[in-house]
Chain A
Amino acid sequence: MAAETGTPTTLTLKSNDDELFSVAESAAILSVTIRNMVEDGCAGGVIPLDNVDGKTLASVITYMNGISAIPADEEKKKSYRDKFLSDKDFETLADMVLAANYLNMSCLMDAVSAKIAQVMEKKSVGWVRRKFGIENDYTPEEEAAVKEEHKWTFEGVETDDDN
């Protein structure tokens, strides 16, 4: 799709639950996955993104538009990212990190991974198991022994509110 002078090229993205979104190519190619499709000439029609649902894709596109509207100023970009992620809950962040990984967007990956780390830092072991869906494969004795090795790290753990 060759762009006329001054007319920005628009891409159409389709989520795995069949929502369609239009987004400026200049913003969408923040995703290396999409950029490769554009370069290979596969972006003519609708680009199907099989691993991202509509709600998450809407969020990712908001980010793409927001960050590409900021000129090359790392400090401003960083504060946009901080603000963008500030009110997201764990589930939303988890969806976003998976989407960023699939779309190959390193700046979003870095920011969301750091945000998830910040959210979980003071949480309990039980909270982490629930949120990450991890089965406890320790016997009670083994778990007690592992905890005993670094008892001090269990000071100041937040009580679970499941946020």
Chain B
Amino acid sequence: MNNNPNVLVKISNAGIHKNGKWLVKDVNLEIHRGKIVTIIGPNGSGKSTTAKITLGLFKRIEGSVERFTKKISYVPQKVSIDWTLPVRVMDFMVLTEDLEPQEINDALTLTGVDHLISRNLRDLSGGEFQRVLLARAIAKKPELLVLDEPVQGVDFAGEVALYGLIKKISETLNCGILLISHDLHVVMSATDYVVCLNGHVCCSGTPVDVARDKHYKELFGEKSSQLLSIYEHDHDHVHTADGDIVKDNV
């Protein structure tokens, strides 16, 4: 049942069992309008799998996934374009939905690659390609945006700017975002809800809750919990899972 109109996706006890092994199990997750949910975890912990479960890309899963929107954009972890397929950025932008030239231009400008519009996708660098992928995803003005490591290969300054952009998009489009990332330091400050994954959900909650969790410390090491101090200095309040401010921290 979905009583809350802000819920875009509801995942209950979801998992994938393949060749006698759980790729990921017991995932419970809700994605709300205007909020960013971030999945963190080591390699092979099932982050991309969880993203694909959210998108309904598996035929048979345990548990259930309910999606309450059809306006979905996806930035996959890896997109490779075959040499035989000549695609320019402008062709790629309208891959799944027709857009006005203005909309294409605006989105490319937001991610800083509007000058590449006539270039062939294969001639782009890794970072430029990621920016194009992100631009295509937001140009559609989706209600749900699933981003699987959207800033890989982007230079550090660009990385911070793109995370800022993602945050801004969730507000301006009021869309729910599922973000998968390795960059703990940036992510922890720009997200509403964190799921820490290692084959199963080992802890989840607001960034502060997760950073204090002992499972999180075990997974990412003592050093990563120092991030908490950075985080707490950056902010003077705490959010609930819905993003409401519950108390002042100062």
A and B assemble together: no
A interface residues, Cβ below 8 angstroms from B: none
